[in-house]
Amino acid sequence: MTLEGKSLIGQQTVAGSGEPLHAVDPSSGERLAPAYPGVDNSQIERACALAAEAFDGYRETSLEARAAFLERIADEIEGLGDALIERGMAESGLPQARLEGERGRTCGQLRLFASEVRRGEWLDVRIDPALPERAPMPRVDLRQRHIALGPVAVFGASNFPLAFSVAGGDTASALAAGCPVVVKAHPAHPGTSELVGRAIQAAVAHCQLPEGVFSLLFGAGNELGQALVKDERIKAVGFTGSRRGGQALAAIAQARPEPIPVYAEMSSINPVFLMPAALGERGQAIAEGFVGSLNMGAGQFCTNPGLLLGLAGAPLDAFISAAGQALEQSAAQTMLTPGIHAAYQQSVETLAGHPKVREVARGQAGDGQHQCQPGLYVTEAADLLADEALQAEVFGAAALVVACADVSEMQAVAEALEGQLTATLQMDDADLDAARRLLPTLERRAGRILVNGWPTGVEVCHAMVHGGPYPATTDARTTSVGAAAIQRFLRPVCYQNLPQGLLPEALHDDNPYAVSRLMDGKREA
């Protein structure tokens, strides 16, 4: 499949007329063909208009038809074969195995949402039958289901060019909910985006869905994204990226005549609590696990462990020393873009230059372009508490170890942290009481709490929460990974006393979709 450098608007392939963007191979700095000229306002309009036109029809597709569509997208992506992986490697600097794994995750995610659609619990069917004899007032028949919010704008993310991009979790969950999707391609991987976009476009055609169900737009600056979020036909936004970017989109969404929800997953330093018994017993092993997690994907994970808290003393010193040694042996890795690399360099310099921070170790410098040379730093709890800047996320492999006087100070630091995607406890049985005291704080501060694991690696399953209090995300009530992500794009509608002939099929007495229902307050499985 030859890349055309064009946007996809419904079933059309259209050439933009704006400023072109190019992918850059971060390992060489080389600009990759083709150019992707940005769309103009009329093209954005057209994509939104098609999405709005498609909405009523698409949201009423049968569960089976919608599930089959999601599965078809997965099949089409797999059908792209090696070309997708090769282009992804060239555009992201990520290795082949990682991208192959990410493709598997992306297709698995689409298939999980297909099974969620079929299961139908997302409809949240509730039926309160009429009680004509009730005194003093009879009750009329009341039924509830969830329907899709409307067209959704999805912003591709840089760090997972497949799993959080054109056909990533936001798109998959929005389509599963019954929302048409307009994707703004991330400028760092336009070719990968085009390939995946064409796979979705083909699936739309194959499944004979309204063409506006999916569009993919390219644009070099911020104008495209802003225009999408402002468009009155867009009813929700999915975004993974920087805090500044997410906050800007949320502000635009709130300033609309009709404000809309923005699901922005923004920033997190993912604190790891090195509990005393565990640190004393197996500090060396924890240090090795930590460095492995820190270096994953050159540290360019939302769940990268950027902060470690331990009790000052010999075990923490030994841990720091072991982690430093492991880090020094870590090879440099190409970062996703020259811009991300430059920001990483600057963040690390700022951290290293902080008067209360000491550099423990750096990894190998590497001889390629735009490579991440991981860094490990230490400070003290009082210093972290005194300066919010020490909580700033460094996007890339860098971590700060915080020496605390005791578990109470550890807890004070936890209380002072901003909202996080994850919080991790490295603990043994003897740490259980201290962990129990910490737990309520961690629940208030994070979306996911781990014991004796590492936060990188986000399982796509039913119980996952990839979310958390602000500023980890703009909406702590949701997750952007896992089956529950579908709930972001739904709203309840109640039907009072509708004749069966007018009532949506899912609410019919005979339960044609065989979904779990709440019947007069009792669960029917």
User: Which residues between 53 and 112 bind a copy of itself (CB under 8 A)?
Assistant: 55-56, 60, 101
d(CA 408, CA 376): 24
State yes or no: is 461 an active-site residue.
no
d(CA 486, CA 122): 7
Residue in 76, 265, 380, 418 annotated catalytic: 265
Task: For the segment 258-287, give every residue that binds a copy of itself (CB under 8 A).
Answer: 258-259, 261
Q: Quickly list DSSP for 399-428.
A: EEEEEESSHHHHHHHHHHSPPEEEEEEE--
Shorter beta-carbon distance to a copy of itself: residue 29 or 453: 453
d(CA 330, CA 337): 20
Q: What is the dihedral of CA 293, 299, 304, 306, to 10 degrees?
A: 100
Number of chain residues interacting with a copy of itself (CB under 8 A): 81
Choosing from 15, 331, 389, 494, the residue that interacts with a copy of itself (CB under 8 A) is 494
Shorter beta-carbon distance to a copy of itself: residue 147 or 398: 147
Q: Which stretch binds a copy of itself (CB under 8 A): 40-48, 126-134, 208-216, 277-285?
A: 126-134
Choosing from 498, 505, 508, 513, the residue that interacts with a copy of itself (CB under 8 A) is 498
Question: Is position 501 an interface residue for a copy of itself (rule: CB under 8 A)?
Answer: yes
Q: Residue 88 has which token pair?
A: 């992804």
Q: Residue 216 has which token pair?
A: 């993919």
State yes or no: is 372 an active-site residue.
no
Burial class from Cβ neighbours inside 10 Å (0-12, 13-18, 19+) for residue 276 reads buried
Q: Which stretch binds a copy of itself (CB under 8 A): 284-292, 298-306, 342-350, 469-477?
A: 469-477
Question: Is position 150 an interface residue for a copy of itself (rule: CB under 8 A)?
Answer: yes
- Give the pairing type, strands 420-426 and 271-274: parallel
- Reduced DSSP (H G I as helix, E B as strand, rest coil) percent helix, strand, coil of the chain, to 5: 45, 20, 35
Choosing from 27, 75, 83, 119, the residue that interacts with a copy of itself (CB under 8 A) is 119
Question: Is position 465 an interface residue for a copy of itself (rule: CB under 8 A)?
Answer: yes
**E-state strands within 346-470:** 358-362, 371-372, 375-380, 398-404, 420-426, 446-451
Rg over CA atoms, the chain:
25
Shorter beta-carbon distance to a copy of itself: residue 67 or 216: 67
Question: Is position 463 an interface residue for a copy of itself (rule: CB under 8 A)?
Answer: yes
Q: Residue 493 forms beta bridges with which residues?
A: 145
Whether 220 and 21 have beta carbons less than 8 Å apart is answered as yes
Choosing from 470, 505, 508, 511, the residue that interacts with a copy of itself (CB under 8 A) is 470
Q: How far is the CB of 456 from a copy of itself (least distance, A)?
A: 12
Task: For the segment 396-425, give every residue that binds a copy of itself (CB under 8 A).
Answer: 419
Choosing from 29, 79, 492, 512, the residue that interacts with a copy of itself (CB under 8 A) is 492
Choosing from 448, 456, 486, 506, the residue that interacts with a copy of itself (CB under 8 A) is 448
Q: Annotated active-site positions, please?
A: 265, 302
